[in-house]
């Protein structure tokens, strides 16, 4: 079951789409303590915001150190519909 299907089942809302936000931030102290990095290290926060009717909510937020982050998107040919899915690899 996809994350979106699970959210729909749990909330009784129909997910119309999602927006992904990636932003830089300082590593929060409680997370840096847990993973053993300095609290002033740079980090990246990824939040996928699900859109459901008039509501939106963040699902599956993640935070990771900036130096271990990579973002890969597979892009297909302009005329092809074979590669419509996106492949996301995070921290």
**Mean pLDDT calculated for residue range 38-65:** 80
CATH assignment of the domain containing 40:
3.40.1410.10
Give the whole-angstrom CA distance, residue 61 versus residue 46: 6
pTM (two decimals) = 0.57
Residue 59 in any domain: the answer is yes
Whether the pLDDT of residue 84 is over 60: the answer is no
Spatial CA neighbour of 60 closest among 44, 72, 49: 49
Residue 87 in any domain: the answer is no
Residue 56 in any domain: the answer is yes
pLDDT at residue 79 in the model: 59
Give the whole-angstrom CA distance, residue 77 versus residue 91: 27
CB-based contact 65:26 (threshold 8 Å): no
Domain residue limits at 44: 3-68
């Amino acid at each position: 079951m996809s994350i979106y299907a699970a959210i729909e089942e749990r909330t009784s809302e129909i997910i119309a789409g999602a927006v992904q936000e990636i932003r830089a931030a300082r590593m929060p102290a409680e997370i840096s303590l847990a993973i053993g990095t300095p609290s002033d290290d740079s980090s990246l926060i990824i939040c996928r915001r699900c859109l459901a009717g008039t509501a939106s909510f963040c699902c599956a937020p993640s935070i990771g150190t900036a130096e271990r982050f990579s973002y890969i998107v597979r892009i297909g040919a302009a005329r092809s519909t074979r590669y419509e899915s996106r492949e996301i690899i995070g921290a």
